[in-house]
A and B are shown apart, each in its own frame.
Chain A
Amino acid sequence: MKKMFVLTLSLAALGLLVSPWLILRAPQESTMGLVQKIFYYHVPTAMVDFLTIYLCGIASVAFLVKRSPRADALAVASAELAVVFGACTLWTGSMWARKAWGVWWTWDVRLTTFALCEMVFIGYLLVRSYGGPGSRGLAAALALFGCADVPLIYVSVSIWRTMHPQTTVVPNLVKPMAVPFWVAVFTMLMLYLALLLARLLHERNRTRVDELYVAAAEAGLEE
């Protein structure tokens, strides 16, 4: 795992160095001008956030079914990153919205759904910290319910006007814009994997500590 971490971190660092340069050189979008360049990081963080939310959901189901500590480690790591990348998406989106729409926030479908997902996973972390015994299970159920809820939240909120650009933007990107975009996607993905691995390595250390405590207790050592 450590080797993967070094690899992904290096690739992420490379991407973080290369992508701003590529983004600056990309042609400016006609209607929104300079501020549209936020899109190159905003959409990738949203994509990664979506990925990590569902990874957490899957890991949570695995934990509920098999009680595996590795599934639990993956669940908590991906939940933390869901909060991190969610915050990045919401912030960058807000910066973009300020210029594009003149407001910091609006109750558009995607924004609202995103904000609620962020709250679900902040709740996840709160439950794990303060939920007492059995909180791992409750958090897992919360993650599962949150993931199942996303389409329902989306549909119910969509009754209100949507002003967010529709998803058809990405497949229709012109070549000079597509390159920096996909480089940014790759960068975010590597960054995400690097952080996830770092967190999992830490979790592995924590498990080691627990094992040592058990061994110490068996050896009759005082705390």
Chain B
Amino acid sequence: MLRLVGLVLWKDLVVEWRTREIVSTMLFFAVIVMLIFSFAFLSEGRASGDAVAGILWTAIAFSGTLGLSRAADRERDGDALRALLLSPAPRAALYLGKTAGIVIFMLATELVVAALSTILFGAALSAHAAELSGLLLLGTIGYAAIGGLFSLMLGRARSRDVLLAVVLYPIIVPVIIAGSKGTSSLLESIPDLAAARYWIKFLAVFDIVFVTLALWAFEPLIVERG
């Protein structure tokens, strides 16, 4: 089964490597969002840790939806999903493979965006790279686990892009809170590592709960959508 997950993931990565469509659009959108929020919220001088953290995670949340839509569209075109479902593969492997792909695309975007924040806002993000990586990784897993499921299920609905945002955002609010609060505690004048570690543990709990639920729900859902 792990081999199948790897195969599904490899397929997505190869396609992305050739076209680079998802990561480039996500990255561009994330940067634009960051700039808009900067114009809206920041004036002269250095940005507060809260503001930088908030901008970073908002950019991730918004560009993530874009990436999810694009990734789901790829399955739709050419009915690739139906073909995969007809194979005797365990459904969970399909879900895990696709979600892993989305996580990788998002992490690639986040890396660039975080680096950009360091440059644009003078934020000392690299100081506690381990904690920051923990927050980003676990936050992304939670986001992608739920978003991946929802975006695949929205299928051919006409307003699917809007609906994805409508259904995803309320559910991943804890991820955004944990991520931005954790990040801002790292950016304080005296970084609050205890707080950051608490939020990392929180995100781990969130991920365990929702990856389990999503794995369970994938089978009955994909059969219905079919």
Residues on A lying within 8 angstroms of B by beta carbon are: 64-65, 67, 116, 119-120, 123-124, 126-127, 130-138, 141-142, 144-146, 148-149, 152-153, 155-157, 159
Contact = CB atoms under 8 A, between A and B. Distances in A.
Contacts of B221: 64, 134, 137-138, 141
Given A132-B158, A148-B210, A156 B170 contact: no
A122 to B, nearest CB: 8
Interface residues of B, number: 33
Contacts, number: 99
Contacts of A153: 173-174
29 contacts: A64-B221, A65-B220, A116-B173, A119-B170, A120-B171, A123-B163, A123-B170, A126-B166, A127-B166, A127-B167, A130-B158, A131-B157, A131-B163, A132-B155, A132-B157, A132-B158, A133-B155, A134-B224, A136-B224, A138-B225, A141-B153, A146-B171, A148-B209, A148-B213, A149-B173, A152-B206, A153-B173, A157-B177, A159-B177
Contacts of B202: 152, 155-156
A132 B157 CA distance: 5
B123 interface: no
B153 A134 contact: yes
Interface string B154-187: 1111111001001100110110011001000000
Contacts of B220: 64-65, 67, 137
Contact of A144 (B213, B224, B225): B213
Contacts of A152: 174, 202, 205-206, 209
Question: For chain B, what secondary structure do more than half of its interface residues adopt (helix, strand, loop), or is it mixed?
Answer: helix
Contacts of B206: 152
B149 interface: yes
B150 interface: yes
B120 interface: no
A130 B213 contact: no
A37 B154 CA distance: 45
A156 B217 contact: no
A135 B201 CA distance: 33
Contacts of A126: 163, 166-167
B146 interface: yes
Contacts of A142: 150, 167, 171
Contact of B217 (A64, A67, A134, A136): A64
B179 to A, nearest CB: 10
A120 B153 CA distance: 17
